[in-house]
Amino acid sequence: MLEPNNSRLSHPFCLVVVLCILSPVVVVGDESVGLNQPATVAEDSPAGQLGKQPGVQVSVSDFHGFVQHEFEVGGVACKLVSPATSAENAPWIWRARFWGHEPQLDVALLKQGWHVCYCDVADLFGNETALKRWNQFYKFSQQIGLHPKPLLEGMSRGGLIVMRWASANPSKVSGIYVDNAVMDIRSWPGGKGDGIGAPRAWKTCLDAYQLTEEQTEAIDDGPLHRLDQLAKVGVPIFAMINEADNVVPPSENSDLLVRRYREHGGPIQELRRPGLGHHPHSLKDPATLVKFAVDSIAKQ
């Protein structure tokens, strides 16, 4: 499984327009940055609050016509993309991995007043360090005024962190969107079932969890082992499933999620796509996903 090449998504001005936020009101002077943004950022908005956080240095670039704020929380790279006008209570979608890849849902939600956020957990495969990073970012998100219940977005290996963090924090999640997502490290990158596996990533994964290959045979704390807590509070899940996926086989991942979550009484939708492999992710027209996101936050 390779990291997608996002170079084609970069805006030609991203490399030259880098501004530091030095005050709670940010003036974006170049029209190429934040084409869908107002000229100033409201002081009481999440983006405005970024400038008030002690020790936080922020640079600004473009994300499909919206202002992308890049900064660190506890030494970890993070991003916040803000809408032109925030919807009530500042709802947000939390992208787990592959920033900018197939961004249709993210962009569509930005147009509806949502924020899009990211906290780097690359090469951690949803382990305890990843959970701590997300805990820290979630606390930060509340300090800057984002909605208390984000929608989690987990493509591919991003499923590991979104499901494990949500299971540990079921009251802090409005909904979960998983897209051809990994639910068991033994399936991917381990390749211990029908999938092709990824030997180099498997070694990195074992190191991240501090496990031997033999010890993984008895894993009992993966994304599929805490579903009862999510079902208990009724967290809705939307599962995108490409049925011919031989990288993250549905039979070892998404199919198990759907079946077990329903057994626990949890609400889960599935969109199955026969004949498609691990790619493509998302939908060209993300209307179905947008509806899931909007419906999920409306119930909070």
Angstrom distance (rounded) from CA 29 to CA 40: 9
Residue 220's pLDDT is what?
Answer: 87
Tell me the pairing of strands 115-119 and 151-155.
Answer: unpaired
Residue 186 has pLDDT above 50, yes or no: yes
Structure tokens at 237: 């899940």
Residue 140's pLDDT is what?
Answer: 98
Structure tokens at 86: 């925030």
Instruction: Please give the share of the chain, as a percent, with pLDDT higher than 90.
Output: 83
| Residue (of 289, 292, 224) closest to 263 by Cα position | 224
| Residue (of 268, 180, 186, 271) closest to 227 by Cα position | 268
Residue 5 has pLDDT above 60, yes or no: no
Q: Is-contact 152 94, C-beta < 8 A?
A: yes
Q: How confident is the model at residue 42 (pLDDT cuts 50, 70, 90)?
A: confident
For 120, the 3-state DSSP assignment is coil
What are the residues whose beta carbons fall under 8 Å from the beta carbon of 107, sequence distance 6 or more?
A: 64, 66
Q: Is-contact 70 17, C-beta < 8 A?
A: no
Instruction: Please give the share of the chain, as a percent, with pLDDT higher than 70.
Output: 87
- Rounded to two decimals, the pTM is 0.87
Going from the C-alpha of 180 to that of each of 175, 208, 278, the distances in angstroms are 17, 22, 6
